[in-house]
Structure 1
Amino acid sequence: MNKRKNMVYSVKFYKEILKKHYIANWGNNYLEKTWNSGPINKLSNQFTVLEFPPHGERKMWTYATCGMSTFSQSSPIELHIFSKVQDDSLLELLSSVVYFHNVDQNLNLEHTVNFGKPWQLSSICTYGLISLPYLDGPDLEVLYSAEQDKTIHCYWLIPITLEERDFKIRYGLEALEEIFDSKNFNYIDNMRQSVV
């Protein structure tokens, strides 16, 4: 019984400090949402998605996982994805990625994941690249819990095409990021073409 209570407390504590961290970076105007279909319900970590609307100079919506990992994992991570429109389909997409992370493979920085469907609408971006949060920097990326002596990393999930994924596998992440920079690619344009 105590083990179960400790696990529930640990998950609740994890999510509370994560929410405070997100609020410190993106403000306190958000909605907490869940996706209640599919295998995500088999997970016990009470996973939700926080939806942050555009504000100030930030003209995009932000969807951030809350409970993708727990302190019991050796390298806890959380992901966020951007959108130019409010889009509940991203709840399903992030839930699928979280399920894959918890059941099939521990995802981490520089990994790619197959969305199994277009990112949005008929986008040709059907993969996600786990990247450093370049738009928000280390203040968002690193969340240290002294109580648990653990660091949670908050990474950016960038929608990419199959061709971009293959290019990254063949030539490395740095080469792909250089092309992104040189092409000045629009990371919230769901109808963008491949840069390679």
Structure 2
Amino acid sequence: MSKSKEYSESGNPIYRYSDRQHEWRSPEYGEEEWIKKIEDHVSQYIGESDSVFHEILSDVVHIDVHVIKPVPERNYYTLFTTGMSFMPMSTPEGAEGFEYAELMICLPPDWPILQEDLENPDHYWPIRWLKMLARFPHDYDTWLGWEHTMPNGDPAEPLSRQTGMSGIILLPPLEVDEDFLTLDMEDGRTVHFYSVVPLYSEEMDFKLKHGSDPLLDKFEEYGVNELVDLKRRNTCEAG
């Protein structure tokens, strides 16, 4: 496996990864106590999961995706991973303490989420991205964290036929209590929780050129948060 690094106009590193080259490895499974702490933490601040998409065949780490149904006070689906934090990520100097993470994505209440619905790639992509992103740092000996972006291919293609957005950014969720963002595992390790937020290509380009803060200012101006809106305004659209 190899990776190359270059820098954007804003001075942030850009990593380009070749195809994974290691052989199939038996997955790491989290201890029941570790998994339960994550589930209890999410349940306390967001709600109890109603179902789980269990991974049947796993490589490196075992990733499950839990589903919390909409309720009146949080009228959208919340999907979150367990498994990404079973192994530490290879964080660089200056990012100590961010080795462990789990991911979430929030979908509209009418999102088709039944098993038969998910045979359609236009419905399944959020789960596919959660699984792919959760495994990515362990496949490539790297890390993912706050404000990291990833395009859907090179060149980037739309995430589905229902949207023009073609990449993602990882951000702390906004529509939660601040105490939800981190989970102290009481053994010196801390799990950080990030939302997967879809991006338009222009927004990815803007972030590369100007950095994260100006993009987040635009998100605040236009009310962009962790709830996926396939038709939301492109905050960096020309004109």
TM-score bracket relative to the smaller structure: 0.7 to 0.9
Matched residue, 2:63: 47
The letter of the residue matching 1:33 is F
Deviation track 1:156-185 (CA, whole Å, cap 9, x = no partner) reads 111111111111111111111111121234
Matched residue, 1:160: 199
Q: Specify the SS of the correspondent of 2:202.
A: helix
The letter of the residue matching 1:12 is E
Matched residue, 1:114: 151
Matched residue, 1:128: 168
Alpha-carbon offset, residue 112 of structure 1? 0.7
Matched residue, 1:100: 136
Deviation track 1:20-74 (CA, whole Å, cap 9, x = no partner) reads 11111122242111355xxx7212x321001111112211111111111225446
Deviation track 1:128-181 (CA, whole Å, cap 9, x = no partner) reads 1111121113221010011x2111001111111111111111111111111112
**Quick check: which one's helix share is greater?**
1
Q: TM-score, normalised on structure 2?
A: 0.69
The letter of the residue matching 1:129 is I
Quickly say closer, same or farther: Cα 1:103–1:121, change in 2 above 3 A. same
The letter of the residue matching 1:96 is M
Q: Which blocks of at least 5 consecutive residues in structure 1 are unaligned?
A: 1-6
Q: Which blocks of at least 5 consecutive residues in structure 2 are unaligned?
A: 1-27, 90-97, 119-123
Q: Specify the SS of the correspondent of 2:228.
A: coil
Quickly say closer, same or farther: Cα 1:120–1:31, change in 2 above 3 A. farther
Q: What is the percentage of aligned positions where both structures have the same residue? A: 22
Matching residue within 117, 122, 127 for 1:91:
127
- Mapped partners of 1:185, 1:108: distance in 2: 19
Matched residue, 1:60: 76
Q: Specify the SS of the correspondent of 1:125.
A: coil
Quickly say closer, same or farther: Cα 1:95–1:138, change in 2 above 3 A. same
Quickly say closer, same or farther: Cα 1:125–1:57, change in 2 above 3 A. same
Matching residue within 67, 76, 81 for 2:100:
76
> Bigger radius of gyration, 1 or 2?
2
- Mapped partners of 1:113, 1:14: distance in 2: 28
Matched, 1:20 2:60: no
Q: How many pairs were matched up?
A: 184
Contact 2:107-2:228 at 8 Å conserved across structures: yes
Q: TM-score, normalised on structure 1?
A: 0.83
Contact 2:80-2:102 at 8 Å conserved across structures: yes
* 1:178-193 matches, cutoff 5 A: 178-185=217-224, 187-193=227-233
